[in-house]
Amino acid sequence: MLKQSLLGLIWLFSVNAHAVVILQYHHVSETTPAITSVTPAQFEEQMQYLADNEFTIISLQEAVDAIKQNKHIADKSIVITFDDGYDSIAKAAAPVLKKHNFSYTLFVSVEPIEKGYAGMMSWDDINQLAKDGATIANHSWAHEHLNRKLEGETKQQWLTRIEKNLLDTEAEIKKHTGQSVRMLAYPYGEYNADVENILKQHDFIGLGQQSGAAGKYSALTALPRFPVAGPYADLDSLKVKFTSLNMPVLKQNISDPLLTAGNWRPELTVELDTSDIYPHQVMCFVQGQGAKKPTWISETEFSIQAPANLPAGRSRYNCTAPSKTQNGYYWFSQAWVRPNNDGSWPKE
C-alpha cells in the first residue's frame, strides 16, 4: 500500500509539476473595445487576488525554460502577457504590476509603433518598461495574418515574406530595447504548420490564443494562453482558469489549425494519459455550438466533431476534465482557422 501511494505521488509530481497558466491581455481601459479589454479596476482586482492567494508569478522565459528542460515549476504558477503595445498598459497595468513586483511580457508589432497609431506606446515608452524589467517580444511587423498568402503570392514567396517579417521585427526590437528573446505571439492567434516550421528553423517559441495551461504536453510553437477580456474577465470564472492543469495529451490526429476546403467539421482524435482523469468526466465544447460529449474509441482515446460546419474565421474545440486527486481542471483547446467557401478570408 505504501509503495502504491509513493508511486501515485511520483506520478502526480511528474504530470502536474510542469504546468503554468499564461494570461493574455490587450487593453487595460474603460474606453477601449470591451471584447479586448479589462478595466483598470478589474485588472487591479485580478492582480490583488493572485497576490493574496499565494500564486507564483514567473517570467515567460522561466516558464519556457522549465518546459523545455522538463524542470519543476512551482504550483499555482502564472505568466502575465500583453499583446500589441497599447498605451493603457503603461498607464494602468504597469504601476499595478510594479506594486506587486510581478514580471510580465509585452508582445509588440513594429509598424503601429513607428507610424504612431492612436492608443499605441512609443519606443520610448516601451524602452522604459523594458528598463523597469518587462520582457519585450515579437508580435510580427504589422500585426499580419501570418497564415494567409497575399493575392498572387506563391507558397515560397509567402514563406519567405513571413520569415523576413519575423526576423526583421526581432531585429527592430533588439535595436530599441536590447532584447531578443525569440518569442512570438501569433497575431489573432492564427498560425499553421508552415508558420510553425519557420519558428522551429529559427528557434522561436510560439504562443497562441487557444486556452489551457501550458506544460510538458504543449507544443513549444503553440503554447496556450487564457485570453482575459470582455466576458472572460470575470474574476469568478478566472479563478477556475488560474488553477487549471496541463491536459496530458499523448497524441492527436490533427495539429494544423488551418482547415482545408470542405472540411468544415474537423474530427479531432485525442489520446490521453487518463491516470488522473475519469474518462466519463471529460466534457468538450465547440465554440458557438455548445457542449458536446466526446466519443470514446478506447479507454484512453476519444474523438470530438462539431455538429455543424464551423464558421469562416477562428473557432475552438475545448475539452476539460476534473482531476481525480487534486483541485483543478485539466484543460485542452484546439484552435481552428477556416476561409470562406471560395477560399477568400472574412473581412475584419
CA distance to 4, 6, 15, 274, 277, per residue, from 10 (Å): 10, 6, 9, 15, 16
Pairing of strands 283-286, 290-292: antiparallel
Q: Domains plus CATH for the chain? A: 2-245 (3.20.20.370), 250-338 (2.60.40.10)
Give pLDDT tens digits for 309-318: 999 999 999 9
Give the pLDDT of residue 232: 94
Give pLDDT tens digits for 262-305: 899 999 999 999 999 999 999 999 999 999 999 999 999 999 99
Give the pLDDT of residue 255: 86
Give the pLDDT of residue 17: 55
> Strands, E, within 210-282: which ranges?
226-227, 245-246, 249-252, 267-272
Residue 25 pairs in a beta bridge with 82
Looking up cell 462539431 gives 306
For the chain, how are helix, strand and coil distributed in percent, rounded to 5?
35, 25, 40
Give the pLDDT of residue 321: 97
Instruction: Show the low-confidence residues of the chain (pLDDT under 50).
Output: 1-14
Cβ pair 82, 89 in contact under 8 A: yes
Give the pLDDT of residue 16: 52
Using DSSP, state whether 266 is helix, strand or coil.
coil
